[in-house]
Structure 1
């Protein structure tokens, strides 16, 4: 038991010991997660695991997207105005926001406009001293084309910031709700730079969010304490623990033993098995996500559309969904989940047709097939519940048409890093939209700028597709945007840039004592209002 809790609970220690470990940690919310974060300086990374461990618990953005209402809500900015021409955004900041007070940083002032300017300028301005500190660069800012979009940032006064855009962008406000747009302390950054230790921003993070970073033990645990000064109200628990547990079976066992209150990304089979367990509650929602196999269009012979089409035709998606997702997911036909406005339901997709796949390979001069590799992660996740089985099914189907694929199982952090560098051939991956906007799939995954940032796992740059994406963001007319996005989806499907797999149902398993927890369709995590009943 942590010392701070021990000092308050000395009297009932004997009773606590008798009642077991779950009650002993009543003030601590323990969450079994599936992977280690890459770091805590969220702007450097693109994985949802890192966003959950940093942006979601430690930080805030100017605005937040509310999944329940489907609207943008005030956060660090209590209100904002947009000019009629869509080029000027004026944000009015709250004046009561405190940065975390930790063993390594004591804030000298509340949040103000300087923090907002620093947070964006470090990503946008190559001359900003902090710009080169991020070893991994700024993949989201680059893929979302913010350096080209944002013309100027101005501090109007201590609590007002004006952003001038080079062109109207209907997605700009929604983009600001993404994890990478979190606001950092300029004061803390200056302290680290002066000390010559800027790398500590990634290992000793400071934010304004509901929880304060305490300690991280790689591949084991992340510990947080509640932020009693949180502007939106102190959390209902004293502590938050991420128990890093890659094996879904072990996550379920820990939940049943009371070692975790919440188990994320359960396997579909575990969801079924826990349905009759009176101690476990299931929480779920339709996920705004797509599981896919990225096909590296820069690696011959995958640079030929006919070869990528053959891979799509060779795969038996129906059998895959049944075996890997236990029928808990809907078949994907493209990048968008069906509940996305702008979804092109009329597109035919690729039916399982090995004979046609072989014919395409022959036309491409590959009648004898070719060798390639399949990359996947070792442990399961919501978008890939059984990586080993999924890779084996794909390998077997490709072998039927003459494609000899070697499976390579790569640890999650290394897989992400090497995939962003374009080293993969076929890559099991998934993408979660952050804010309900269709562009949140297109710009990060299919724009030319995103090839440079590494998020475009198809490694595909097409001027026509780039133009469709740009035009879609330039107008706020949803009908026009839908027309453009349907044309983009048709091009993506014709080029077979992905092997689309599934749109899963997002599940979490919790103990019955957990109250106030909801599963986000975007994979984000909010523990600020979670309570533990007796």
Structure 2
């Protein structure tokens, strides 16, 4: 009898396991770099925001036509330089507290206190809570700029829970961060857009692009960001994998420290620009899957102008260099990234032809960001996403004197005309006139070359064909709330 009862008990436990605890649906995503923290206000690198985008929501987002629409906002109205916003009701944070105007106000004020995101909320002069769900923002600038800025993933609405940890309203909540090498998120059953169909998201850091492809091929991961151009070809013959190839808001560029002699000389920078063979970079490194850049901002960004850049012209570069005593020695800094290193090698070879000896210095990403913010470098290869879809976020952080250093202006460029144009553009209510100011800025930059645009970043994302509902985002913070597997 005891044996019979024991067997029944085991059977019931097994039945409960099968019926009551179904296997969790897990999707694993491979990233090239680790997220730095789960605080989207303090860390705005693409790997961090790729993760935090799943935890938090914004007041506004951009649709497929680059138009602003509400996410946490039900509706809004604009009068002069004032925005009145009405929050959606019943949205819960992951600790159970309801979204309200006071929390939104506190979150935006937090942005203003953090240097790296302050540039996005500079247009805010005053925040006023009208009632529990309504608030008013009074702007010092064109309202359209602020609306676009509020779509940036680092402008996510956050709050502290009772343990002083940040929580959001997003589709997934943080389960484990650790060092950032492996980040685990679990679904938020109370998500206001509906509970996700996936139980767990795991973000794994796999630094080498070929290893990300192998992990995808062996189903260790189901989504791989930043597949190398070389590996793209392999997807054509795969029955299980597909590749998504789309233009982003990102631009790879050479940034030159304009405070360091002899690079503070405009003509020397012009020679460098003429000497760089961008077409070869696109062909050799990106297999012509990218597009040669003529601007810091991408063609899908408001304010872009199709001005002709300095085409590769070795003879012009050599002619300018006759005025200089060569060889000139400079250090070119990059962070650990295969394509950046290959780019640096081509630039090194290009500049050697005109008497400039380039020493390539590779740094770990956090050291790279810290030291270049301090201006320790001669030149660097960087990547910038104009993630708001508006030229202000491409030009102001990278070029305005107020943004020198960690905010973004690592060329330490200071041109009074550019500063004035950027300030005027922020106040200009007429879109076409604002665009004219950005066009003039682009002309100045193409002449003075504090930053030399190289290629527009195209995303290669490898996806298991069993994954459905992946939503591409040109800012790199792709939407995973609707994926199925």
What is the CA–CA distance in structure 1 between the aligned matches of 2:483 and 2:228, rounded to whole Å? 23
* Pairing partner for 1:180 from 134, 154, 170: 154
The verdict on how the C-alpha distance between 1:463 and 1:257 changes in structure 2, with shifts beyond 3 A counting, is same
What is the CA–CA distance in structure 2 between the aligned matches of 1:391 and 1:323, rounded to whole Å? 12
Correspondence for 1:367: 325
What is the CA–CA distance in structure 1 between the aligned matches of 2:316 and 2:16, rounded to whole Å? 70
The verdict on how the C-alpha distance between 1:221 and 1:117 changes in structure 2, with shifts beyond 3 A counting, is same
Correspondence for 1:383: none
What is the CA–CA distance in structure 2 between the aligned matches of 1:248 and 1:26, rounded to whole Å? 28
The verdict on how the C-alpha distance between 1:8 and 1:264 changes in structure 2, with shifts beyond 3 A counting, is farther
Correspondence for 1:49: 47
What is the CA–CA distance in structure 2 between the aligned matches of 1:419 and 1:49, rounded to whole Å? 19
TM-score by length of 1: 0.84
RMSD across aligned positions (CA) = 2.3
Matched positions, count: 472
* SS class of match (1:488): helix
* Pairing partner for 1:78 from 74, 77, 81: 74
Cα deviation 1:290-318 (Å, max 9, x = unaligned): 11111111221111111111111121222
The verdict on how the C-alpha distance between 1:9 and 1:443 changes in structure 2, with shifts beyond 3 A counting, is farther
What is the CA–CA distance in structure 1 between the aligned matches of 2:405 and 2:30, rounded to whole Å? 34
What is the CA–CA distance in structure 2 between the aligned matches of 1:74 and 1:282, rounded to whole Å? 30
What is the CA–CA distance in structure 2 between the aligned matches of 1:319 and 1:285, rounded to whole Å? 21
* Runs of 5+ unmatched residues, structure 1: 1-5, 13-23, 102-106, 125-130, 132-136, 193-200, 381-385
Correspondence for 1:438: 391
Correspondence for 2:134: 160
TM-score by length of 2: 0.92
Alignment of 1:100-499 (within 5 A): 100-101=94-95, 107=96, 109-124=97-112, 131=113, 137-141=114-118, 143-144=119-120, 146-147=121-122, 149-185=123-159, 188=161, 192=164, 201=165, 205-218=166-179, 220-345=181-306, 347-363=307-323, 366-380=324-338, 386-499=339-452
What is the CA–CA distance in structure 2 between the aligned matches of 1:319 and 1:180, rounded to whole Å? 35
* Runs of 5+ unmatched residues, structure 2: 1-12
What is the CA–CA distance in structure 1 between the aligned matches of 2:444 and 2:15, rounded to whole Å? 63
Matched-pair contact (CA < 8 Å) for 1:45–1:138: no
What is the CA–CA distance in structure 2 between the aligned matches of 1:448 and 1:120, rounded to whole Å? 24
What is the CA–CA distance in structure 2 between the aligned matches of 1:212 and 1:439, rounded to whole Å? 32
Matched-pair contact (CA < 8 Å) for 1:358–1:367: no
Matched-pair contact (CA < 8 Å) for 1:506–1:519: no
What is the CA–CA distance in structure 2 between the aligned matches of 1:44 and 1:528, rounded to whole Å? 23
Residue 337 of structure 1 and its aligned partner are, at CA, apart by 2.2
Matched-pair contact (CA < 8 Å) for 1:51–1:524: yes
The verdict on how the C-alpha distance between 1:69 and 1:359 changes in structure 2, with shifts beyond 3 A counting, is closer
Matched-pair contact (CA < 8 Å) for 2:206–2:212: yes
Matched-pair contact (CA < 8 Å) for 2:111–2:117: no
Correspondence for 1:195: none
* SS class of match (1:290): strand
Cα deviation 1:50-69 (Å, max 9, x = unaligned): 11122x11111111112x23
Matched-pair contact (CA < 8 Å) for 2:329–2:358: yes
* SS class of match (1:43): coil
Matched-pair contact (CA < 8 Å) for 1:328–1:504: no
Return structure 1 stretches of 4+ with deviation > 6 angstroms.
6-9
* Pairing partner for 1:58 from 55, 60, 66: 55
